[in-house]
């Protein structure tokens, strides 16, 4: 009857699907591992299964493929949640971390961190600050031109994105061609092949923290869909909620970009697919975006790994699949969600 009653089974089914994909993903690659073995390796970590496999299998599952697969889930979830948040916050179905320039900004921050020889946390911090600067610039530029136009914010994001991309190009010229330049180039293409347990954990902490804030605010964001004035009359502290949303979504994006570079389209596409399934309520859109976003990026990364010896960069694949899919979704969406 109510949305909450309907949401339970949908979330359960989607979680089961993502879990299945997670286990199946270990079978992809030059050293395929059967889902049953994968499940047992994980169970054995909690002493729930007998070890009947080689050390090599355990190493591939836990140290090689595990971090990468978990990284795909984490980054997909983070970008989709950030995208859903930006879309609700600006009441604009055409924005995402990429469109608003946050990804480019964070990419520039991360690249600057690499050149300055910063440690992992420093690179993340730089990505966060530059991401915040980018979203602030986009919002300011959009407002100074026209306060409420949907497309103006998109164009402003384009401008800011182009600016940060130019800064990154400058950094590339200045970078050491032997060590720094390959690192930066990798960031720009986006990829999960260098994810380790350590970098995964470093990204998980800020993303989980930001996710918790978004979860706590989900009903306030839900009410924000009625418009700023109505939301305030419904008891939403709009300035505070807005600030927390921008900080959280940008932190998530920056952590994701620091882990695996710029991966586009997830944040734009996934929230639209999710709204087609569960409707526009943010309290349902947020957890579903995390699941579908994670599952989508894991699927894309599997495709990248499966595509042969010369791996196709993840960012190229998400664009190849995401762009036409988004066009299709946009053409089919006749609903006004905000």
Partner 1 sequence: MTTCSLRAEGLCFGYPGGPRLLDGVSFALRPGVPLALLGPNGTGKTTLLRCLLGLERLSAGRIEVAGRDRATLGSAASARAMAYVPQATASAFAFRAFDIVLMGRNPHLGFMTGPDAADRHAAEVAMTRLAIAHLAERTFDELSGGERQLVLVARALAQGSRILVMDEPCASLDIANQMRIIAIIRSLAAEGYSILLTTHLPDHAFLLAAEVALLKDGRMDGPAPPADLLTPAVLGALYGTPIEVVRVPGGRAQGQVLCVPVMPAQ
The footprint of partner 1 (CB under 8 A) covers 2-4, 215-216, 218-220, 222-223, 225-227, 229-230, 232-238, 279-281, 283, 335-338
CB of 66 to partner 1, least distance (A): 31
Judged by beta carbon, residue 1 or residue 173, the one nearer partner 1 is: 1
Q: Structure tokens of 284? A: 């349902």
CB of 89 to partner 1, least distance (A): 15
Q: CA–CA separation, 308 vs 310, rounded Å?
A: 6
CB of 83 to partner 1, least distance (A): 18
Judged by beta carbon, residue 90 or residue 164, the one nearer partner 1 is: 90
CB of 286 to partner 1, least distance (A): 11
Contact 282, 127 (CB under 8 A): no
Q: CA–CA separation, 332 vs 324, rounded Å?
A: 12
Q: CA–CA separation, 67 vs 81, rounded Å?
A: 21
The distance from CA 148 to its chain's CA centroid, rounded to whole angstroms, is 26
Judged by beta carbon, residue 194 or residue 215, the one nearer partner 1 is: 215
CB of 337 to partner 1, least distance (A): 6
Q: CA–CA separation, 289 vs 271, rounded Å?
A: 6
Go through the chain and tell me how many residues it has: 338
Q: CA–CA separation, 248 vs 231, rounded Å?
A: 20
Judged by beta carbon, residue 202 or residue 217, the one nearer partner 1 is: 217
Judged by beta carbon, residue 171 or residue 288, the one nearer partner 1 is: 288
Judged by beta carbon, residue 225 or residue 316, the one nearer partner 1 is: 225
Taking alpha carbons only, the member of 228, 215, 197 closest to residue 91 is 228
CB of 236 to partner 1, least distance (A): 6
CB of 283 to partner 1, least distance (A): 6
Judged by beta carbon, residue 159 or residue 216, the one nearer partner 1 is: 216
Which H, E and C letters describe 36-85, residue by residue? HHHHHHHHHHCCCCCCCCCHHHHHHHHHHHHHHHHHHHHHHHHHHHHHHH
Q: CA–CA separation, 20 vs 302, rounded Å?
A: 13
Q: CA–CA separation, 28 vs 246, rounded Å?
A: 37
Crossing angle, helix 266-278 and helix 66-89, to 10 degrees? 70
CB of 281 to partner 1, least distance (A): 6
* Residue 96 DSSP one-character state: -
Judged by beta carbon, residue 64 or residue 225, the one nearer partner 1 is: 225
**DSSP string computed for 133-180:** HHHHHHHHHHHHH-TT-HHHHHHHHHHHHHHHHHHHHHHHHHS-TTTH
CB of 284 to partner 1, least distance (A): 10
Crossing angle, helix 238-260 and helix 197-216, to 10 degrees? 160
Judged by beta carbon, residue 176 or residue 228, the one nearer partner 1 is: 228
């Amino acid at each position: 009857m109510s949305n909450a009653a309907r949401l339970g089974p949908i979330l359960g089914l989607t979680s089961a699907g993502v879990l299945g994909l997670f286990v199946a993903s270990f079978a992809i690659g030059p050293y395929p591992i059967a889902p049953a073995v994968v499940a047992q390796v994980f169970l054995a970590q909690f002493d729930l299964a007998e070890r009947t496999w080689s050390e090599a299998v355990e190493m591939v599952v836990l140290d090689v493929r595990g971090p990468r697969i978990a990284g795909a889930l984490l980054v997909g979830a983070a970008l989709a949640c950030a995208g859903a948040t930006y879309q609700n916050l600006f009441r604009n179905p055409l924005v995402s971390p990429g469109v608003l320039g946050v990804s480019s900004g964070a990419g520039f921050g991360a690249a600057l961190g690499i050149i300055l020889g910063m440690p992992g946390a420093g690179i993340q911090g730089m990505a966060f600050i530059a991401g915040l600067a980018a979203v602030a610039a986009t919002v300011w530029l959009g407002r100074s031109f026209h306060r409420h136009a949907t497309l103006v914010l998109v164009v402003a994001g384009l401008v800011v994105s182009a600016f940060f991309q130019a800064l990154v190009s400058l950094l590339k010229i200045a970078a050491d061609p032997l060590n720094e330049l390959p690192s930066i180039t990798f960031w720009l293409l986006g990829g999960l092949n260098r994810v380790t347990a350590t970098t995964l954990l470093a990204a998980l902490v800020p993303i989980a923290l930001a996710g918790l804030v978004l979860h706590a605010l989900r009903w306030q964001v839900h009410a924000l869909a009625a418009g700023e004035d109505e939301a305030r009359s419904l008891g939403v502290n709009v300035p505070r909620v807005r600030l927390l949303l921008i900080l959280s979504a940008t932190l998530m994006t920056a952590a994701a970009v620091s882990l695996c570079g710029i991966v586009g389209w997830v944040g734009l596409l996934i929230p639209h697919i999710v709204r087609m399934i569960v409707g526009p309520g943010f309290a349902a859109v947020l957890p579903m975006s995390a699941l579908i976003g994670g599952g989508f990026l894991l699927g894309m990364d599997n495709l990248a790994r499966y595509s042969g010896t010369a791996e196709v960069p993840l960012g190229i694949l998400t664009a190849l699949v995401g762009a036409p899919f988004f066009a299709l979704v946009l053409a089919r969406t006749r609903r006004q969600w905000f």
